[in-house]
Amino acid sequence: MGSRHVFSRGGADRVRIDHGAGAELVDAEGRRYLDAAGGAIVVGVGHGVTEVVQAAAEQASRVAYVHGSAFSSEVLEEYADALAPLLPVLDPRIYPVSGGSEAVESALKMVRAYHLARGEDRDVVIGRQGSYHGNSRGALSVSGRTGLRAPYLPWLTGAEHTSTPYEYRCAFPDTHPEGCGARHAQVLEETIQRVGPARVAAFVAEPISGAGLGACVPPEDYWPAIMQVCRRHGILVVADEVMTGFGRTGTWFGSEHFGLRPDLLVAGKGTASGYWPLGLAVASGPVHEVLTGAGFVHGFTYSHHVVGAATGLAVLRVLQRDGLVDASARQGQRLHDALRGELADVAGIGDVRGRGLLQAVELVADPATGEPFGRGERVTERVTEACRDHGVLVYPSTGCADGTRGDLLLLGPPLLVTDEQVDTIAVRVATGIREVLGSTGG
């Protein structure tokens, strides 16, 4: 029985995890699970990597905390210099914080301050429908997940929302698949004109949609068309790489798949692989120059944390040494193919999609039409529990179809997952879905 003093997340029926190693977790009763979700698509280098723990402990034993506004440190500067060449940002300047939501908040303030410093009072940020960028107020404002936003709408201001590339449920069937990018760019242009081009400060989006829509990969013409619109109006582009960064999609950052060079980039989750709460707001050199010239007033107590920098640097070195970014591309394709094979005779499979080790399975009531299950059927929750009972952990998401309905399973195991583990994940996920939804008999 758990402590009565913990304000817990979710229901009471939670497994108590004791330890982990690689792509496996072990609960307090000794039962083993394949962590096919990396927690919340967080763990990249695997569980129980002692050199990461030792790097954090060593730094903490020397000095655990100094305030970022008054002091720097060798490890922070070393981390920034090691990471900078890997970022798809021109002359990047790295602002470390404590997670993805803080990174998004920081980037939004950078955007506002940048335009003010240039004498432009731009106050609107455009996000996308169905998107998710964090649970703090600014991040939730630019997010497009209606269910999460609904209770807090009176507090959510300063954002508009445009269309999202969601190829399984394409908003433009008359031009699908060719021409979708141009159509999305047209909708963005219309949104900008409705708001007023002189008011729009930034466009914020994930290169590949994460939790909200489940590993949706945009068409190849999407990002070039979007960038052209933003550049024409002097609108900054913010790439949310919280879920897609640090090798998750088979490149260092998801932006690389599309040649995207954002003005700002935010990261989290895999940044420190769960060993430390570390997020990053990254500004390009030109943006940084404007901000520092005018004076950028911002900060958190735990930003620029020395133990966080030591942890991030250790994770970066493991990713590089063990070739885990290339492994993600290779094992991601294996997982995608294995899922399609194992799910061929399973009922309720709408789509299997993703890039690298960010894969998703969308479950639907009618695969022929894509009709989603009713939310009251709790399909995602039931399948997640069934998968857990079969020793595999998945990351659930709901609401992708219309904000309320829509059932998703996200898969994002640690990047060191083996061939055998990938195949086992596919078998166990198929078994869990089949147990809830049945078989087609085909």
Q: What is the pTM of this model?
A: 0.97
pLDDT, position 321: 98
- Whole-number mean pLDDT of the chain? 96
Would you state the structure tokens that stand for residue 221, as one six-digit string? 């013409």
Is the confidence at residue 11, as pLDDT, over 70?
A: no
Backbone φ, ψ for residue 363 (5° rounding): -100, 135
pLDDT, position 2: 67
pLDDT, position 56: 98
Exposure string over 269-305, b if 16+ CB within 10 A, otherwise e: bbbbbbbbbbbbbbbbeebbebbeeeebeeeeebbbb
In the block, tokens 């024409």 appear at 232
Nearest CA among 46, 10, 131 for reference residue 416: 46
Mean pLDDT over 188-215 rounds to 98
Is the confidence at residue 354, as pLDDT, over 80?
A: yes
Mean pLDDT over 260-286 rounds to 98
Q: Which amino acid is at 391?
A: G
Backbone φ, ψ for residue 60 (5° rounding): -65, -35
Is the confidence at residue 282, as pLDDT, over 90?
A: yes
In the block, tokens 């250790």 appear at 314
> Taking CA 183 as the corner, what is the angle to CA 178 and CA 186, rounded to the nearest 5 degrees?
150
pLDDT, position 409: 98
Q: Which pLDDT tens digit goes with each residue over 314-346?
A: 999 999 999 999 999 999 999 999 999 999 999
Is the confidence at residue 1, as pLDDT, over 60?
A: no
pLDDT, position 14: 80
Q: What gap in Å lies between CA 435 and CA 51, rounded to an integer?
A: 40
Let me know: does 343 contact 349? Beta carbons within 8 Å.
Answer: yes
pLDDT band for 178, please (50, 70, 90 cuts).
confident
Mean pLDDT over 413-421 rounds to 98
In the block, tokens 């078994």 appear at 431
Mean pLDDT over 206-230 rounds to 97
pLDDT band for 166, please (50, 70, 90 cuts).
very high
Q: Which pLDDT tens digit goes with each residue over 271-280?
A: 999 999 999 9
pLDDT, position 441: 62
Q: What gap in Å lies between CA 13 and CA 10, rounded to an integer?
A: 9
Exposure string over 122-161, b if 16+ CB within 10 A, otherwise e: bebbbbbbbbbbbeeebbbbbbbbeebbeeeeeebeebbb
Would you state the structure tokens that stand for residue 295, as one six-digit string? 């004076």
Would you state the structure tokens that stand for residue 224, as one six-digit string? 């070039």
pLDDT, position 8: 83
Q: What gap in Å lies between CA 3 and CA 47, rounded to an integer?
A: 25
The more confidently predicted of residues 176 and 50 is: 50
Q: Which pLDDT tens digit goes with each residue over 67-83?
A: 988 888 999 999 999 99
DSSP 3-state of 323: coil
Q: Which pLDDT tens digit goes with each residue over 117-138?
A: 999 999 999 999 999 999 999 9
pLDDT band for 228, please (50, 70, 90 cuts).
very high
Mean pLDDT over 277-297 rounds to 97
List Cβ neighbours of 344 (8 Å cut-off, separation of 6 or more). 442
Domains of the chain: 17-48+323-437 (3.90.1150.10), 63-321 (3.40.640.10)
pLDDT, position 264: 98
pLDDT, position 12: 58
pLDDT band for 3, please (50, 70, 90 cuts).
confident
Q: Which amino acid is at 401?
A: A
- Dihedral in degrees, nearest 10, Cα atoms 139, 384, 363, 402: -30
